[in-house]
Amino acid sequence: MTAAPDGVGLLRAMLRIRRLEERCIELYSAGEIRGFLHVYIGEEAVAVGVMQALTPEDDVVGTYREHGHALARGIPARAILAEMLGRQEGCSHGRGGSMHLFDAGTRFFGGNAIVGGGLPLAVGLALAARMRGERRVTACFFGEGAIAEGEFHEALNLAALWRLPVLFVCENNQYAMGTALERSESQTDLVLKASSYEVPAWSVDGMDVEAVAAAAAEQAAMVRGGGGPCFLEARTYRFRAHSMYDPDLYRSKEEIARWTARDPLALQTAVLREEGALDDAGLAAMEADVAAEMDDAVAFARAGTLEPVEDLERFVLTEVPAA
Amino acid sequence: MTDVTAGTTTYRQALHDGLRDALAGDERVFLLGEDVGRYGGSFGVSRGLLDEFGPERIRDTPLSESAFMGAGIGAALGGMLPIVEVMTVNFSLLALDQIVNTAASLSHMSGGQFHVPLVVRMTTGGGRQLAAQHSHSLEGWYAHVPGLRVLAPATMDDARWMLAGALRDPDPVVIFEHGSLYAMEGPPPGPGPVDLDHAAVRRAGTDVSLIASSQAVHVALAAADALAEEGVSAEVLDLRVLRPLDTEAIAATVGRTHRAVVVDEGWRSVGLSAEVSARITEHAFYELDAPVARVCTAEVPLPYAKHLEDAALPQPRRVVAAVHAMGLGG
């Protein structure tokens, strides 16, 4: 297991996601990133907190809003940005883009743009771990919108029935695209829904990274101990629109202001200042480090090469001989 | 599985033997699906395997096609070799998202980092008065999708050996077992393996090619028998592999006979028969002495009443009539 989270490290991990995505927005506005781009700004505490509870042997299944999951899991910013620029140096060889970041080395299984589609996949990864006698945990991120999909219910039932080691992490940012939870669910208590499958479930303040880390550590230990799946609801909020195409007409300025006042980076910075663990100089140094990392990543992505069109049909089928 | 004439076996038994072999031969292989365990498989293919291999490897699932298909995909990613059984192709539509959006896409989408060595077995086809929601032939839908291999065993040998080849394939393979063939009796299969790339000529002929797959191969063979009595020599080509289609074999048979009738239990519109016909046009157009003909299922959801179901499905007499319409025999 990982050591107790280091508060400064948690802030730094969140800051890297925030600054990476701010660069993404710039690159998108400049036309260098195309397609759909869903940023995670405001939700960084969830990925960072949960990732603390995982080991390199564990599996991670992300969503289409997965830049934060990917970076927190350890995929280099260079490979992430190169992917978004469609370069062959990208973590999915330019085949996936923003919504389909993959990395075998860090056991990062997407990057899944089908809402709810990753849940059964996570169940299967956990089943394989069980059958192979490996102690891996599979962490599966999904939004609260996925709870309206049948796959949420099918997957929780199956995971609980077979007591599989899955940590289900629901990032409840209150909106499925533009549809608020109370306009899409008859029962808005998501913990109650998960509990109905006999899955230990509770909520955590998704803006408080240390709280998320503590809750995830507790659940991951339960899962790892053979207790079957757990469900963690992280209550969070995305500060930006659903995607770069979204005019964001469905939320009030007051509501957005209420949540941005609880910016997870600001909250953690205040905690660290209070503790005396971080001062202005420390914060400035961290900012400068992260800015340098992102400068380097943008330069790397821009300098990346385009895969030859002759290779278009590669990777559809496996190229290595069967074992 | 004892109701068999001495010296013969059944298609069901051949599938069972292939499955048993696969489970015995590799610890990573396991079967999951609805009623595969205690019930013995909804068509009896897995009967007895639970006792032999235990509930971890013969794994009954809830009625959750999407979840257990996804679980199969995840398990394949996690280093296992899962065989997922879906009762019928109709029910597989509940898992279509997982098959198309995940299993078939993952390798390409991840830039070749992840592979899904998954085998999906499902029943297809009509002829048993099961009506629209248990009788359709949607093999063409799966054959449309890059990233999948699609197999249709029509013979005892293929029923016995295709699974072993499918499990050696590092990518997802979908195997269609025709519901009307399970009880088919025949001589025991020969020694494997069988290849998963090529079509096979099941009967040689010189006047017309009958191109078919699955149960339609047997329709074509019956039609060829009837045509032989009229002095028409029909070649029967069993496609066997619906994706990737063996274009060379299709062009070669047309090159020998110069006429083709495609027999397909799918619907005519935008289906497998349309694809085969197009391949002939693309690759053997100047060999043709007549337009390609097609005998397909009528464009209706399959009806229950026997006379209507019979009328909807390809029958040997309709194949014979199509050959007559080309100016042969009759």
pLDDT at A1 over 70: no
Q: Please tell me whether residue B51 adopts helix, strand or coil conformation.
A: helix
State both tokens at A252. 């009030």
Residue A322 has pLDDT above 80, yes or no: no
- Could you give the C-alpha distances from A107 to A138, A312, B42, in angstroms and in order? 10, 25, 36
Cβ neighbours of residue B276 closer than 8 Å, sequence gap 6 or more: B211, B239, B245, B250, B262, B264
* B60: contact with A, CB 8 A cutoff: no
Q: Which of residues 25-44 of B touch A (CB under 8 A)?
A: 30
Cβ-proximal residues to A100 (8 Å cutoff; 6+ apart), any chain: A64, A92, A110, A111, A112, A113, B109, B110
Say if residue A272's pLDDT is above 80: yes
**Is there a contact between A103 and B76 if contact means CB atoms under 8 Å apart?**
no
Catalytic residue among B65, B85, B139, B309: B65
Please give the pLDDT value at position A319. Answer: 87
Say which of A127, A158, A316 has its CB closest to residue B108: A316
Under a CB-based contact definition with an 8 Å cutoff, are residues B29 and B22 in contact? yes
Token match 């995971």: residue? A159
Q: Mind spelling out the 3-state secondary structure of B256-278? A: HHCCEEEEEEEECCCCHHHHHHH
Q: What is the pLDDT of residues A39-84, one digit of tens each?
A: 999 999 999 999 999 999 999 999 999 999 999 999 999 999 999 9
pLDDT at A4 over 70: no
CATH fold for the domain made of B200-325? Rossmann fold (3.40.50)
Q: HEC states along A94-126? A: CCCCCCCCCECCCCECCCCCCCCCHHHHHHHHH
CA-nearest residue to B105 within chain A is A316
What is the value of pTM for the model shown? 0.94
B76 neighbourhood in chain A, CB within 8 Å: 124, 128
- How far separated are the first and last CA of chain B, in Å rounded? 41
Q: Measured between CB atoms, which of B78, B110, B168 is closest to A124?
A: B78
CA distance A122 to A159: 9
Token pair 């197999």 in the structure block, residue: B151
pLDDT at residue B7 in the model: 86
Q: Which two tokens stand for residue B26?
A: 């590799």
Yes or no, beta carbons of A128 and B78 under 8 Å apart: yes
Instruction: Report the length, in residues, of chain B.
Output: 330
Residue B61: CB atoms within 10 Å: 24
Q: Break chain B into its structural domains and give their ranges.
A: 9-186, 200-325
- Cβ-nearest to B107 among A91, A120, A315: A315
pLDDT, position A321: 59
Answer yes or no: is the ipTM higher than 0.85: yes
Interface contact A110-B110, CB threshold 8 A: yes
State the average pLDDT for chain A. 95
The answer, for B297 touching chain A at a CB cutoff of 8 Å, is no
| Residue numbers of chain B with a pLDDT score lower than 70 | 1-4
Beta carbons of A20 and A13 less than 8 angstroms apart: no
Question: Does residue B64 belong to the interface with chain A, where contact is any CB pair within 8 Å?
Answer: yes
Query: Which of A114, A125, A158 has its CB closest to that of B101?
Result: A114
Please indicate whether residue B65 is annotated as part of the active site: yes
Exactly one of B16, B34, B85, B134 is catalytic; which is it? B134
The strand order across the sheet containing B234-238 reads B200-203, B234-238, B208-212, B260-267, B293-297
- Which pLDDT score, from 0 to 100, does residue A218 have? 98
Q: Is B70 in contact with A110 (Cβ distance < 8 A)? A: no
Q: Give the pLDDT confidence of B118-132 residue by residue, as tens digits.
A: 999 999 999 999 999
Separation between Cα atoms, residue A205 and residue A203, nearest integer Å = 7
- Give pLDDT, residue B1: 45
What pLDDT does residue A2 have?
45
- Name the architecture of domain B9-186: 3-Layer(aba) Sandwich (3.40)
Using DSSP, state whether B235 is helix, strand or coil.
strand
Beta strand extents in chain B (DSSP E only): 9-10, 29-33, 58-60, 81-88, 119-124, 149-151, 173-178, 185-186, 200-203, 208-212, 234-238, 241-243, 260-267, 293-297
**How many Å lie between the alpha carbon of B105 and the closest alpha carbon of chain A?**
7
- Taking only the tens place, the pLDDT of each residue in B263-317 is 999 999 999 999 999 999 999 999 999 999 999 999 999 999 999 999 999 999 9
b/e per residue, B244-256, with b = 16+ CB within 10 A?
A: ebbeebbbbbbee
The tens digit of pLDDT for each residue in A209-239 reads 999 999 999 999 999 999 999 999 999 999 9
Among B149, B154, B259, CA closest to B196 = B149
Residue of A nearest to B147 (CA): A316
Q: What is the pLDDT of residues A161-195, one digit of tens each?
A: 999 999 999 999 999 999 999 999 999 999 999 99
Output the average pLDDT for chain B.
Answer: 96
Q: How far apart are CA A48 and CA A265, in angstroms?
A: 11
A32 is written with which tokens? 């260098």
Respond yes or no: is residue B177 known to be catalytic.
no
- Give me the pLDDT at residue A245, please: 86
CA distance linking residue A37 with residue A20, whole number of Å: 13
A to B CB pairs, distance under 8 Å: 151
